[in-house]
Structure 1
Amino acid sequence: MLERKYGDRSEWKRVLKREYIQSFFDTEEFKGYVTLLNIHNVREPLFVKYGANSVCIVDDGYIWLQHFPTEGHHSLTTMFDAQGNIVQWYVDICLQCGIDNNVPWVDDLFLDIVILPTGEIFIKDEDELDEALSRGSIDEKQYKIAWKEANKLCKLIANDGFDLMKLSRAHKEMLLKKLNK
């Protein structure tokens, strides 16, 4: 059984005070939902380790912007710190994106890609993908979809061709304007 992750992250207990907005985009550059979680107050910051570096991905004043494309097998979350700097891009490889009760979601296929502003790329949770296949939580076709999508995106990222990353700042500003009206 795949885990369904929702864009509003309403189940996230770490975040004590938040604002949320979403919008549907249908442009030449992107078609799908974009969500913005403006994190005002957290129980405690969240740090993750990539190699020797520790990166704060959630704290007071952070913004998470998530793209849910109508096509493809991925979702992109851009994490901004309180000063508006991009902390990381996080790609969830998924079976599909959809919408339920007006909230976008992904059916997570375990495999993730992290891109740091330095250009470093990390593939995460290969072991979870392998385990899901061996447990029968996913089938061989879904396993191949996950790796095909991850490999395609890694090539695009390495060649500065994953254009969705370039839309993060503009889409964040558009949604913040709507939120602050």
Structure 2
Amino acid sequence: MLKRKFGSRYDWKRILRRGYAEKYFETADFEGYVTLLQMHEVKEPLVKVYGGTPVCIVDEGYSWLQHFPANQRYSVTTVFDASDQIVQWYIDICKVNGYCETNGPWMDDLFLDLIYLPSGRLIEKDADELEAAHSERIITSEEYSQAWDDFNKLKQAILKNQLRLLELTKVHFQELALTCNRKIE
């Protein structure tokens, strides 16, 4: 079964106090939902290690901006630190993006991920999980092939600096930060 992930992260116990905003954009550059999760108080920081380098992705003052592009099979989560500097872009390959009236935008994760760091480093992640899901018949052969196709297209777009969405993250972050006054305790 695929994991359904919500932009609100309503069920994430690590975040003790949060701010949240969401908006549907319909512009020439982007169409889809964008969510902003502000982490006011966390149980503990979350640090990932990429090639021996620790990278903090959750801490007090951090924010996650997540894009759910309409009619696309990926989602981009941009991590901002407490100084509003980009820490990373995390691109999830997904089966579908959707919306729930209760918990907001969501995506059904298809395992493959790309992590793009401001340094220009691109990290490929979780191919083993996709392989296991395919061999265990959690996903179909069509979903397996589509995941790899989408992954490779996005990877090439990033390497060629053609994924426009990455350029929009700061603009969308600033716009949603102004309206992020709805607290979820």
1:69 aligned residue:
69
2:170 aligned residue:
169
| Cα offset, 1:179, TM superposition | 2.1
Q: What CA deviation, in whole Å up to 9, does each residue of 1:65-114 have, x standing for no partner? A: 00000122100000000001100000010001000125100010001100
Distance 2:116 2:172 in 1: 18
1:159 aligned residue:
160
Distance 2:59 2:69 in 1: 27
AA in 2 matched with 1:85: Q
AA in 1 matched with 2:163: F
2:130 aligned residue:
129
Matched, 1:40 2:40: yes
* RMSD (Å) for aligned C-alpha atoms: 1.1
Contact 2:98 2:105 in 1 (8 A): yes
| Cα offset, 1:180, TM superposition | 4.7
SS at match of 1:49: strand
Distance 1:135 1:21 in 2: 37
Distance 1:13 1:175 in 2: 23
Greater relative contact order structure (CA < 8 Å, 6+ sep): 2
2:17 aligned residue:
17
| Structure 1: segments with no counterpart, 5+ residues | none
Matched, 1:5 2:5: yes
| Structure 2: segments with no counterpart, 5+ residues | none
Distance 1:135 1:91 in 2: 24
AA in 1 matched with 2:81: D
Distance 1:179 1:7 in 2: 14
Q: Percent identity?
A: 48
Pairs aligned (count): 181
Matches within 5 A, 1:137-156: 137-156=138-157
Distance 1:98 1:107 in 2: 8
Q: 1:100 to 1:164 in 2, by over 3 A?
A: same
SS at match of 1:141: helix
- Structure 1 length-normalised TM: 0.98
AA in 2 matched with 1:84: D
| Cα offset, 1:53, TM superposition | 0.7
- Structure 2 length-normalised TM: 0.96
Distance 1:92 1:41 in 2: 25
Q: What CA deviation, in whole Å up to 9, does each residue of 1:124-152 have, x standing for no partner? A: 00000000001110010000111101100
Distance 2:69 2:52 in 1: 32
